Structure 1
């Protein structure tokens, strides 16, 4: 598509020029508009030689480690200027095309939550399932940006007008609809609207006496996606149609599982896995259910799951999904996360890239890939993936927060704070954002503010090890060594009867200056491939151990140096 081609072209130009999207010297991104060349350009007289000209970046910024040494990026000024000239020509060309295309081309589409008109709250999952399926079908069949379910679900039961919603999501087109099931008769209505002009483009009502309402809903979701996609640009590598579940009860269980999965709480994740397991028991060839189960196991690690168990179960589910359908992006994303947990960086990268090849609109793949790149120290690439994830899922709390954390890892605390505060503006009760905000305060030596954020997270998240370790770290640096040691010892006692990552315990001892205890726990974390072992290179909270030779050897063993 035009949008993807432009995105790839600009990305390659930036790589060639040694430029960065977040700190541009040559190519600036204009939100919602396009790109512009911002470097100063000198024009030579007819008799002046090219060698006399010097390239002038738009604004010199303080150099950092990522930019060091770029002044000699090209051995000859002549070659440098030729590249600049090509860049100017390319950007000028795509700018003209973009201006022309912007008048006629549609860029993005949002499928708003289908309304449940059945007057039965227990059937809410059917409406959400219809929304989810239409999004999935459209994301895989059109080259448009299709906004993720997480963001559109923020507008469930909203009183906001369509233009307001479209502005918040930056969507050109909107699909909205309803589903009702009364006395065995099902009725589904869907319509496509031009959000920019508030104009109706397409609509259809489906009604049927259908004993198998789930099968009817599946047929209708596919037809809606097909009808809408026929009016939009198709992807050049259009995917084959998904095999419908053979068992309507399996589909019902899958929809209930997806409904719970999208709520992303510890209890709801556990229940979603139960439903996915039931779905594949009823239909052992249900690839999407296996893929969803794998992702649920991966995310459960963030809620204290033991990776020794969850990773094996996630791998079994993802591999089964790919045996049934080798192009399922969620299954490739799950395998990538498993490779990360097993410290297999290159295979992880390959799987993330496969996921994005098969579904460039899959925000989770961009998101997790961005985290992976940041933990490897590839901050520029990580920022690109995170921006793409937010472009597809603009109201996602976790993506906004993780974008902030990846900037924090890179040392850009100002940008990190901007992203994290944005997440807290969306939801003050999002515990993970409070944790990241606390870490940012720590880097600014504002320890009381940091402790305040960690204690808010503790109230929201419970007295979980992944929160306690942050509190213990801040207490140690603030001078309250007694309380910090008490937390470290509490974590050690907890580890005797439940899973606790050695990374969490080692973090507190590192802040206390007890490097022997810190390294003992970090070595144990490495042996067990504990949660968080891959953050050691990037995480500033381990700076207290960073000049210890044992820590450096551990980073080498992790292949992070």
Structure 2
């Protein structure tokens, strides 16, 4: 059996659920056999129980597959003992009374997750899974059981001008007792130290051995003005949503950080990544690519030991078709931080575009393991499909769909996630649901040229030629001008002989 498919079966807890059904059925058969002899019932009753038990088995298996994945089931699941050293970090509550400060709580949680991920022998729940519980009224022990972890870290952050109060506690899922708790009353400038202290104390409370503090980033940059870091936190929140408006807002935040501290390398790297993503996903003009080149070069100059700077540089060089330089930049980034999501993900995209599908599949999969990202999971499946690995592609497609669904629980207005959800459903033999989500993506953002283009590709593959042409025409009208994509994208092959498609290309 394919390893990926087997992992998916285990992730969805099918063996446990089906096993419970079989055990219960066996007990019912034993009781029926006893009752038949004790009360003189006819064999008809015993046969009926056996037939009903057998007929319901595939139904139970189907429900187990659909509802067995973490976070997707309305039914109670059998308890699985979590790993001893496992933790979920929930979003820190904003107690400031100003929704504008939500980014602080989310950013603090993400930084703690990023630090804990690097701790050897510690299993950390992904941001996507943990953040689905943002604002929930569920009890900590319930959340811990649903995420199958031994402990949960929760906390709050409150801002008073330039001072902050961070309260946090690590709770045991087994008995509900506190393993560790602390309150920090400090200046905003001390936020970096707070993040490190929380991660360190969590690791020590879980009895994880910290070897020479290798889990800490030795090259973490500190700004001269804490406001630059705050703007970067805001920018990172926008980067999570790869739509044109969000990427534009991200770029604005990083630019504001540079206004405050022109020598803050992470801000240069973030601005470069924003510009590069805009150029890659929405190739409307060349200015973004020129900006990505300039900004990433400056990021490396100011932060030669900053992994994010080299990753952004590698991404920009890849878009500039400077392959050897791009490879060197990605390699340097991974030397500095082997668990940097962006380095794996952007390097995978470069490999995929160059036809290095084996490397692309491995790197997309690695990226999706580091961060539960729907795009990385989707492209890992697509790479496997391009390699002809049918079973692996199906298992990865199922996972990509689950990640996209989870992402949209928190971000229901993400049209790109909706399009990838649509494609995954169609590939898994559920075209009606897939087309529904394609239409939903258009409803979410009817003016986004990238969304129009992606939905057109789906319509093309599903044989809806007229709808595909209409979406392409709307994409071009909204500003989509990448002639190479029109010429070489295999998803558009069914449209190439259509007069309106040929007319579109000639007009670009």
- TM-score (ref. length: structure 1): 0.62
Partners of 2:118 and 2:199 lie apart in 1 by 10
Q: Structure 1's 183 and 520: CA in aligned 2 closer, same or farther, altered over 3 A?
A: closer
- 2:130 is aligned to 152
Partners of 1:245 and 1:154 lie apart in 2 by 31
- 1:294 is aligned to 272
CA drift of 1:306 comes to 3.8
Partners of 1:444 and 1:174 lie apart in 2 by 34
CA drift of 1:335 comes to 2.2
Q: 1:421 aligns with which of 381, 401, 404?
A: 401
Q: Which moved more, 1:472-481 or 1:130-139?
A: 472-481
- 1:505 is aligned to 486
- 1:16 is aligned to none
Q: Structure 1's 466 and 272: CA in aligned 2 closer, same or farther, altered over 3 A?
A: closer
Q: Structure 1's 315 and 233: CA in aligned 2 closer, same or farther, altered over 3 A?
A: farther
CA contact (8 A) 1:163 1:195 kept: yes
The CA RMSD over aligned residues, in Å, is: 4.4
Query: What do the CA deviations read for 1:516-548 (whole angstroms, capped 9, x no partner)?
Result: 9989999999xxxxxxxxxxxxxxxxxxxxxxx
CA drift of 1:299 comes to 2.8
Q: Structure 1's 307 and 363: CA in aligned 2 closer, same or farther, altered over 3 A?
A: farther
Structure 2: unaligned runs, 5 residues or longer: 14-80
SS of 2:286's equivalent in the other structure is helix
Q: 1:284 aligns with which of 262, 276, 286?
A: 262
Partners of 2:435 and 2:301 lie apart in 1 by 48
CA contact (8 A) 1:488 1:505 kept: no
CA contact (8 A) 1:432 1:457 kept: yes
- 2:166 is aligned to 188
Q: 2:375 aligns with which of 392, 395, 398?
A: 398
Partners of 1:28 and 1:415 lie apart in 2 by 6
Superposition pairs for residues 152-171 of structure 1, below 5 Å? Answer: 152-167=130-145, 169=147, 171=149
SS of 1:240's equivalent in the other structure is coil
CA drift of 1:373 comes to 3.9
CA contact (8 A) 2:268 2:299 kept: yes
Q: Structure 1's 306 and 107: CA in aligned 2 closer, same or farther, altered over 3 A?
A: farther
Q: Structure 1's 224 and 456: CA in aligned 2 closer, same or farther, altered over 3 A?
A: closer
Query: What do the CA deviations read for 1:183-226 (whole angstroms, capped 9, x no partner)?
Result: 77642222334546655333221225xxxx42143442333334
Q: 1:252 aligns with which of 230, 233, 250?
A: 230
SS of 1:368's equivalent in the other structure is helix
CA drift of 1:404 comes to 3.4
CA drift of 1:166 comes to 3.8
Q: Structure 1's 247 and 448: CA in aligned 2 closer, same or farther, altered over 3 A?
A: closer
Point out the structure with the larger helix share: 2
Q: Paired residues, what number? A: 428
Query: What do the CA deviations read for 1:294-336 (whole angstroms, capped 9, x no partner)?
Result: 2222333455254622233223333323223333232222223
SS of 1:175's equivalent in the other structure is strand
Partners of 1:480 and 1:130 lie apart in 2 by 46
CA drift of 1:262 comes to 3.7
Superposition pairs for residues 466-477 of structure 1, below 5 Å? Answer: 466-470=450-454, 472=456
Query: What do the CA deviations read for 1:495-533 (whole angstroms, capped 9, x no partner)?
Result: 8xx3422244334864234499989999999xxxxxxxx
SS of 1:221's equivalent in the other structure is helix
Partners of 1:262 and 1:454 lie apart in 2 by 21
CA contact (8 A) 2:163 2:188 kept: no
- 1:324 is aligned to 302
Q: 1:221 aligns with which of 179, 195, 215?
A: 195
Q: 1:135 aligns with which of 113, 121, 132?
A: 113
CA contact (8 A) 1:329 1:358 kept: yes
Partners of 1:32 and 1:453 lie apart in 2 by 23
Structure 1: unaligned runs, 5 residues or longer: 1-18, 34-102, 526-561
Q: Structure 1's 153 and 144: CA in aligned 2 closer, same or farther, altered over 3 A?
A: same
Query: What do the CA deviations read for 1:381-410 (whole angstroms, capped 9, x no partner)?
Result: 44443443333334x333333333333433
- 2:104 is aligned to 126
